[in-house]
Amino acid sequence: MLVLAGLTASVTTASVATASVPATPPLALHNGHGLEVTAESQLDPRLLSVTVSTAALPGPANVRILLPTGYAADPTRRYPVLYLFDGTSGHASDWTTFGEAEQTTAELPLIVVMPDITLNGNGGGWCTNWVNDGKGGQPEWETFHIDQLIPWVDQNFRTVASRDGRAIAGLSQGGFCSMSYAAQFPDMFITALAYSGAPDIAYDPVAEVGAMAIINATEVGLDRVPPDSMFGPPATDQINWAAHDPTTLANNLRGLNLMMYNGNGLPGPLDSSPNLEGSLIEGAVNVDNIYFHDRLVALGIPSYWDDYGPGTHSWPYWARDLKESIGAIMNDFAHPPAGPAAVTYTSADPQYSIFGWQVGIDRKAEEFSTLENADAQGFTLAGSGAAVVETAPLFVPGGHYTVTIRSVALSATANSAGRLTIIVPLGPPNDYQEYTALAGGTKIYTTSVAISDGGS
């Protein structure tokens, strides 16, 4: 597995030497949302290079940004954004250096944001806030990408700053990142794509063993940190692995346009010479995607999967994947799929907000909870302990409503935003974290809530 992680690095990085570019005037990008701009330059008429510092990471992070042709000509026009991730031991510059991202998006009304998922080309952080033996702290990749970078981009560029204006994609480890972020934050993106990604790290037992070994190897062999620094030891933190796993959280992906591309590891038409490393990795990727696709099919979630046969884990295929998928991405921006009529969402967090609904659960131990079929007529909530649910703004401000819980009818008044606040009893809280040996089978309680017009 150490060898395999090293091979991943060798396949995805190659030489990143670029011609020097004369200094240009500052771009006057603003600090904000926890990011401080420490360097900025314009590499060509469309391509920007930005370096930022953040308390979430132990070192500076690089971001490459492609602006649409003519961006400056119309100061009122807004553009959708494609967030595009590189892979293990990669760099923010990889997609323009090796992946032909600038050529592929030429003349398109699109902003492309390509952030680091590694620091200085190390093994990367698998797009999670690291457990670090229970101490937490740096690196906090999820905080950087989701809580800081996205709002910073919306602050500094003329974006369509909503779900309808965002897509997310990545290759290899970055393909895990794109699907993991989409599964955790489905109200932030309309499209998620994985090019030779690893979307199952904790659901299928075979995929789980392989993924854990590779992630441990990345930690030890490339990041030079103890194993299980990222997600924690499976014996005590298995739920943290599952809570970031796209396959475990697959039901959250319902309603997104999902696209996966991968080969089977055999030499393909874009391999100019034998590529043992790329063959081994892509073969493993193929198996992982089979498990993910099978899970989507079992749940009745539509997706596009180009299991294109011969092809290795290498840039010519990812460049081709981007070219072949960019039309579908732009079509989604032109015709955004509607948000869900009723919200269903699973999370291990004790507090979460999704599509305007807010849930806070008082419980003893970390475990999954599910908000299901939430709309103006009511919802169900599964978990343990007691919860407070604030509805989306679906009601008449100041209006009176009847909330029925376990055959008990209660009166509720919508606040000035048109939201109802409802206390939801679930059941006795579990004493031990889900998936641990002491849990002995976490008990899940489901409470149904009905909402109706209560009259004047």
pLDDT in tens, 187-235: 999 999 999 999 999 999 999 999 999 999 999 999 999 999 999 999 9
Question: Dihedral, CA atoms, 378, 380, 386, 388, nearest 10 degrees?
Answer: -40
pTM for the model stands at 0.93
Question: Would the pLDDT of 9 be above 60?
Answer: no
Position 260: which residue type? M
Q: What is the C-alpha to C-alpha distance for residues 286 and 274, in angstroms, rounded to an integer?
A: 19
Q: What is the C-alpha to C-alpha distance for residues 138 and 133, in angstroms, rounded to an integer?
A: 12
Q: Supply the pLDDT for residue 456.
A: 57
For the chain, the domains span 2-334, 343-453
Per the DSSP assignment, residues forming a β-bridge with 170 are 85, 194
pLDDT above 70 coverage of the chain, percent: 94
Mean pLDDT of the 417-425 span = 97
In this structure, how many other beta carbons lie within 10 angstroms of the beta carbon of residue 190?
A: 26
The answer, yes or no, to whether the previous bond of 109 is cis (omega within 30 of 0) is: no
Locate 271 and state its tokens: 């391999």
Locate 69 and state its tokens: 């042709």
By DSSP bridging, strand 400-405 and strand 408-413 are antiparallel
Mean pLDDT of the 241-254 span = 98
Question: Would the pLDDT of 176 be above 70?
Answer: yes
Q: What are 323-352's pLDDT values in tens digits?
A: 999 999 999 999 998 889 999 999 999 999
Locate 120 and state its tokens: 């200085």
**pLDDT level of residue 435 (50, 70, 90 thresholds):** very high
Q: Are 349 and 341 in contact (CB under 8 A)?
A: no
Output 371 or 272, whichever has higher pLDDT.
371
**pLDDT level of residue 242 (50, 70, 90 thresholds):** very high
SS3 state of residue 295: helix
Locate 289 and state its tokens: 């995607």
> Closest Cα partner for 65 from 32, 43, 36, 33?
43
Mean pLDDT of the 273-302 span = 96
Q: What is the C-alpha to C-alpha distance for residues 175 and 95, in angstroms, rounded to an integer?
A: 13
Lowest-confidence pick of 33-37, 126-130, 436-440? 436-440
CATH superfamily name and code, 2-334 = Alpha/Beta hydrolase fold, catalytic domain (3.40.50.1820)
Mean pLDDT of the 356-363 span = 98
Using CB atoms within 10 Å of the CB of residue 456, give its burial: 0 to 12 exposed, 13 to 18 middle, 19+ buried: exposed
Locate 392 and state its tokens: 């989306």
Q: How many helices (H) and strands (E) does the chain have?
A: 10, 19
| Average pLDDT for the chain | 93
